[in-house]
Amino acid sequence: MKKLFIISTIPIYIFAGLTDFQTIEEANIAYNNKDYNQSIKLYKTLDQTIPEVSYDKANAYYKSKDYDNAINNYKNAKGIEENKILYNIGNSYFQQKKWDKAIESYEKSLKIKEDKDTKYNLELAKKIKKKQEDKKKKEDEKKKNKEDKKKQDGKDQENQKDKKQNKENKKEENKENKKQDKKENKKNSEKQKSSGTPKEQKMRKEEKLTQQELKRLLKKLNQNKMPTMMYKTNDNKKLEQKNDVNPW
């Protein structure tokens, strides 16, 4: 990744007095020595309406990583080349990972003046933004899949619970039905025992009487033999009998 540099050119202070020039020099020395807080402190003693003061103070804030104050002071540096102001504002937003604002500042700067560093930082900001968006999208999908799986697991557990409960209910129902059937069978058996058996015994008694009567009648018939027919087919005279007379 290319290191982002702010424009470090120190503006020429046209309207500064002798004392101001001395303070400006001390501030620049502190800045070059990376004593940015001391540099800011010295710049604050100067006339804040001078654009160059705001610009150099903004640079010191940027180096101390106070990007909000850097942006505010860059915006107050009216009169400094606008493309440089926008470039440094874009760098400040870049450091805050505010990609949309950084991209916007770089694009505005390039519309004013083409610059290879500004263009490079613009493409870099777009690339990082897309990479982070893709990463976030994957994380969101992963999170959603995890939540969906959790919901599905909950549904599966609930279904298993319902299935188990239904099985237990059916088992209990079958048990109750068997118990009821057994009770009903016992009741029918007792009813049949109390009402059906005497009837059967009565029928057997009647059958027995009928059989005895039949034997008695057969015996009587055997004692009183029935007459036998005594016709001869070749004796026509003996056939001359009245039609209404029985042959025996």
> Domain spans of the chain?
18-132
At 161, the pLDDT band (50, 70, 90 cuts) reads confident
Tell which residue, 146, 90, 82, has the closest CA to residue 112: 82
User: Taking residues 111-125, what's their average pLDDT?
Assistant: 97
For residue 70, give Cα distances in angstroms to 36, 62, 95, 130, 243.
Answer: 12, 5, 11, 26, 157
State pTM to two decimals.
0.59
Report whether pLDDT(10) > 50: no
What is 18-132's CATH topology?
A: 1.25.40
Backbone angles phi, psi at 9, to 5 degrees: -65, 130
How far apart CA 115 and CA 112 sit, in angstroms, is 10
CB 31 within 8 A of CB 56: yes
> How many angstroms separate the first and last alpha carbons of the chain?
147
At 98-115, the pLDDT tens digits run 999 999 999 999 999 999
User: Taking residues 85-106, what's their average pLDDT?
Assistant: 97
How far apart CA 19 and CA 11 sit, in angstroms, is 17
